[in-house]
Structure 1
Amino acid sequence: MNLTIDLHDETTTLTPEQEKLMTDLITTAVNFEKLDGEIELSVTLVDEARIQEINKEYRGKDTPTDVISFALNDEMEDEIQLVGEGIPNALGDIIVSVAHIKRQADEYGHSFDRELGFLTVHGFLHLLGYDHMTEADEQAMFSRQEEILSEYGLTR
């Protein structure tokens, strides 16, 4: 497996250790999900105003949110999936609001790093098709998140 993570901190607030935490967690999640081959994804950390713009433009919701994922492997009807030797599996993009990390860490009574990890894994699972539109889907997704975070050693 060859994993490429394009990480951009537009807020310039994360430490090198926190950036490493994100890449290590994604690597753990990729291994946990048993993905192989060439895998690519991007993660961008933004401020609250920027995530609100993105949420409004792409989801029609004029409100800030904590994380948004844009999966590239979601084929629409009649779309052809590009697979083959030498073609990387481009999973998509994860956008995370740093302001939400801080606020939610305080609200839930855990560390900034725990919330950063939680949102990173949450966004990653969305790229793989996990969702929380129904109670059953939410339970499956959140259970998987906790398994990955525990595997990494990032518990509450």
Structure 2
Amino acid sequence: MSIRVRVNGVEQELDVDPEMPLLWALRDVLGLTGTKYGCGQALCGACSVHLDGQVVRACVTPIRRADGREVTTIEGLSPDGGHPLQRAWVELGVPQCGFCQSGQLMCAAALLAKKPQPTDADIDQSLAGNLCRCGTYTRIRAAVKKAAGVPDSK
């Protein structure tokens, strides 16, 4: 079956099994390896991408759900790393191992698109499904607030 999907602004036609997880289509077929495989059960958030602006877990989303739709990955957030969230991540030294960061960033971007001035509670709720084994949650929250222009109340 042929799947037509717009990925990071580029039309793609994929001849793949419609049940293939979106994650594998992105990584193995299109070579977009910024989206990570973590648990394979939608529990860790490492594979978070946007499907028509909404966060989905790519590891459990069949590619057929993306047919005729728009997918944005971490590579599409900003080709040069200039997105305000990416800049704040670097400025505040958020990543340690970095494995969860693309999923964290994609969820944070979706939050800021809906709520440009989020509270700590908004950030915590929006990113609650993203696990960071290094425990950089306070820096993640600070970076989201910095990108949003919200003063950090530490």
TM bin, normalised by shorter chain, reads: 0.3 to 0.5
What TM-score, normalized to structure 1?
0.37
What TM-score, normalized to structure 2?
0.38
Q: Return the structure number with greater helix share.
A: 1
